[in-house]
Structure 1
Amino acid sequence: MEFLLSEEQLEIQDTVKRFLDKHCPSTALHSYFDDPAQLPEAIWQGLVEMGVPALIVPEAFGGMGMTLLDLAIIAEVLGQAAAPNPLLGHTLATQALIYAGSPAQQEKWLPKLASGECLASFATAESGNWLAPSLSCVNGNITGQKQHVPHAEHAQLIVVALAGGRYALIEQGATGLEISAENVADRTRPLASLNLNDCPAELLDGDCGNAAEPILNTALVLLAADSFGGAAQCVDMAVDYAKTREQFGQPIGKFQALKHQLANMAVDVEPMRGLYWHAAYAFDQEPETASRQAALAKAHLSDRFLHVARETVQAHGGIGYTWECDAQIFIKRALFNYTFMGNAGLHRKRAADLADW
């Protein structure tokens, strides 16, 4: 049994990492925090040119037909760089069309999503509830509200989750669609609320009955992968700072208390990698266990990322709390990963229920 990534997968990761090193330095991150309304155009176009949005799209629709694990290892690198990007919402909309779209709808939209010609997003949360949408589509129109929709203001297409496991397509500029930006901590991934007032929509006409779980599992795996990348970067940041920051005439990394803190952070992070790999593998190869593995990965990795990000701020001392320090960017990304699509407690309960405890 192979427990490591293939050479091709490692090359994919390395290619994306080199791109982000060039186009997403610390200064760029801070510029997005200063102006969160801007779309990370250069980063998104770079990901498009590398074929990232096309990875899991079937070859018949202009994609590469690769696995969720292939996409998850890219999400890890994006998390490591805290890269501002709309990939999460775009991927969930893509999965909705793959699992719930009719052949005609797939033929119309999937090539555009794979090529990046059309940016899409996904709307599911209602009144803080991520898992049980209550909106319905009556006579082709939707009335109600959705919250926490990623990059909604820039998306040309939004897939809206409806009651009963159904999904609908709403195009940007549709009558009765109002988009309001939300005030969020993680400014690299802006969220918005949708106010739908008799808004015309197109129901997805495929086999919607089996779509909800794969879409949710995709979100949980990608958030887990992003969390691992972010947590690993936090450890590196804290160690680098401990080597260079001096106090009482020596680097603070020589102090025993900080040594133990850094060691505990590293021990927390390294086992996280296999958990999200396993969840992505289960999605691709063991669908009967995929939901539980995705729930466990999201719950544990987002929880540990938040803990390690807090430890990173503490390791930096007073400067770790300031706007100018990179540590504040990662703790806010950790807060996003922890809460988006449900917190750790919710998914630990789901994992227990799925195991028939």
Structure 2
Amino acid sequence: MRFSAEQEELRTTVRTLVERRGGTPQREPGVASEDVAEDVWRLLAEQVGAHALAVPEKLGGAGYSCLETHVVMEELGRALTPIPFLGSAVLTTQALLACDDAPARAEWLPRLTAGTLVGALAWAERGSFGTDAIATRAVSDSGGTASGSPRAQPTSGPSWRLTGVKEHVLDAGRAGLLLVAARTDRGLAVLAVDRAAPGVTVEPQVPMDLSRPQGRVLLDAAPATLLTSHGERVMRHVLDTACTALSAEQVGGAAHCLDMTVAYARQRVQFGRPIGAFQAVKHRLADMYVLLESARSASYAAAFALANGAPDASAVAALAKSSCSEAFRTIAGEAIQLHGGIGITWEHDCHRYFKRAHGSALLFGSPEWHRRRLAHGLGLTGGGNATRIAGSPQVADRESGTVRG
């Protein structure tokens, strides 16, 4: 699992671009620099071509794999760059690629890869990212079904109506295109919806991490275009892609937490010595390093497995999401502790990484949920659905980070 010289050069390019443009949230409470974020988003598309890295050349992309996307995600996670790269350039684009070839896909894909259109994947419902929780309904205007009949084939115009509620939709307020997983009479399907279409309402949610906006999408007979009737296959691929990409971001954020904590331990003097000279601090820094490298190995393993189409890619993605989530949460918490008083102030970066660590741990399913998926995939459980969150609605809400009532 080694990245090529070209991939490492991509890493350097993205890091330099982000550092020079200051692509991090500002320090004012709840305020991000929208001008800076737009600048970074535009330059990544125009100068780096980051949005098109994992898109085949025949569809107008760069023809690379998820490994290049992994590199970009790690660097964006290091800086907590507040751009919709994960939701639009990764999830929406990959979901669209996994759908059936259609005029609608050809219409939207070039705009997504150019960065002129932001997409969002409307997926989670009732506090769960499992497909069993999806209750949104899709009904054909023509009375057709999603069974493969001519009337059900994807077309260039809306021919379906969607009704339901989607939660935890990344960058929903900014998105111009929504890809929605919904039920038809033949199973799960994926449909495209214009954000400005009648019957579409987006309610902003207030997440723990303000640099990653989320929204609740309400669909009331909203016009939609069918992209594929093989929704289960597409959503399995999207879940693996989401977990793998997010693990890269978590590794990048954890690495920055360790770097700034080591730097602080070298310069903070107590009792006439830098605090990094004390054995107790050394041990905690060493533990952080071991956690980081273990998480990095899991994340890279998931990326290479996904890129190579390995049969165990889903299991490795679940492992990466679980281990990287817990490592980032622990490292971010330790960073605050070792920074002492300055670590809990609003002026310091520590709290932003702490919030991102806890928010991303619950995104796309909690570590516990993915361990259950992994155990089921390995045949270590007595039964049940590998993508279902077991337990009461209260349990599901807690694991997804939603608070009801």
Runs of 4 or more above 6 Å deviation: none
Does the alignment pair 1:285 with 2:312?
A: no
Alignment of 1:53-68 (within 5 A): 53-68=51-66
Percent pairwise identity: 37
Does the alignment pair 1:69 with 2:70?
A: no
Does the alignment pair 1:35 with 2:31?
A: yes
Q: Kindly provide the CA deviation profile for residues 194-250 of structure 1, in whole angstroms up to 9, marking residues without a partner as x.
A: 111221111213654521211111100011111111111111111111111122232
Are 1:57 and 1:110, in contact at CA under 8 Å, matched by a contact in 2? no
Are 1:37 and 1:190, in contact at CA under 8 Å, matched by a contact in 2? no
Q: Kindly provide the CA deviation profile for residues 302-354 of structure 1, in whole angstroms up to 9, marking residues without a partner as x.
A: 11100110000101112211111100010111112100000000001101111
User: Distance in 2 between the 1:298 and 1:238 partners?
Assistant: 24
Tell me, what secondary structure is at the counterpart of 2:25? helix
Number of equivalenced pairs? 353
Residue of structure 1 in register with 2:273 after alignment = 250
**Per-residue deviation, 1:146:** 0.8
**Per-residue deviation, 1:286:** 3.1
Alignment of 1:342-357 (within 5 A): 342-357=365-380
What RMSD over aligned residues (CA atoms) do the two structures have, in Å?
1.6
Question: Structure 1 stretch 3-12 or stretch 163-172: which is displaced more?
Answer: 163-172
Residue of structure 2 in register with 1:108 after alignment = 107
User: Distance in 2 between the 1:213 and 1:182 partners?
Assistant: 26
Residue of structure 2 in register with 1:149 after alignment = 169
Normalising by the residue count of structure 1, what TM-score does the alignment of the two structures yield? Answer: 0.95
Are 2:122 and 2:169, in contact at CA under 8 Å, matched by a contact in 1? yes
Normalising by the residue count of structure 2, what TM-score does the alignment of the two structures yield? Answer: 0.84
User: Distance in 2 between the 1:60 and 1:103 partners?
Assistant: 14
Name the amino acid aligned to 2:119.
Answer: A
Alignment of 1:268-347 (within 5 A): 268-347=291-370
Alignment of 1:177-256 (within 5 A): 177-205=200-228, 207-256=230-279
Residue of structure 1 in register with 2:10 after alignment = 12
User: Distance in 2 between the 1:327 and 1:228 partners?
Assistant: 15
Tell me, what secondary structure is at the counterpart of 2:26? helix
Are 2:190 and 2:229, in contact at CA under 8 Å, matched by a contact in 1? no
Gaps of 5+ in 2: 141-159, 381-405
Residue of structure 2 in register with 1:176 after alignment = 199
User: Distance in 2 between the 1:311 and 1:24 partners?
Assistant: 25
Name the amino acid aligned to 1:137.
Answer: A
User: Distance in 2 between the 1:32 and 1:173 partners?
Assistant: 31
Compared CA separation, residues 348 and 32, structure 1 to 2 (3 A): farther
Residue of structure 2 in register with 1:96 after alignment = 95
Tell me, what secondary structure is at the counterpart of 1:180? strand
User: Distance in 1 between the 2:56 and 2:231 partners?
Assistant: 18
Question: Structure 1 stretch 108-117 or stretch 305-314: which is displaced more?
Answer: 108-117
Residue of structure 1 in register with 2:146 after alignment = none
Name the amino acid aligned to 1:145.
Answer: V
Q: Which has the higher helix share?
A: 1
Name the amino acid aligned to 2:137.
Answer: S
